[in-house]
Amino acid sequence: MSEIEIKCLVCRTQTKEANDIALTTTVEGREIVITRLTGSRCPTCGEEYLDSDSSEKVEELIKKFRKPKVIFKRKITKSGGRRVIGIPDEIDRALGKKENVEIWLEDNKIIAEVY
């Protein structure tokens, strides 16, 4: 953690470095606990503040727990010797006239970012 001095927003006491912060939050009705976070803690009232690394970790974990509103299931077919996946009409309409895509693998998921 960096040596940035942070005063508690609740009681104005100087906070101390902490590397054992746990955050409990609810994502789409499921309670999740994220442990081993770093930041600072007020020695007077116990208020905790995450550092930037832990904040990014929390954001990434919360994204993994979020479910898309609609999930489409498609078969992978072949066309011209290549494997293809059809884009559902609802997604195609939402994309508008965007015609470029970056595609990558993340674990066992195909991720596509259209622009």
Report pLDDT digits (tens) over 60-81. 999 888 877 778 889 999 999 9
On whether the pTM is more than 0.85, the answer is no
Q: If you ran DSSP here, which 8-state letter would residue 14 be given?
A: B
Domain ranges for the chain: 16-65, 77-114
**Distance, CA of 107 to CA of 7 (rounded, Å):** 40
- The DSSP result for 74-91, as a single string, is ---EEETTEEE-PPPHHH
Report pLDDT digits (tens) over 20-61. 999 999 988 889 999 999 999 999 999 999 999 999 999 999
Name the pairing type of β-strands 109-114 and 30-41.
Answer: unpaired
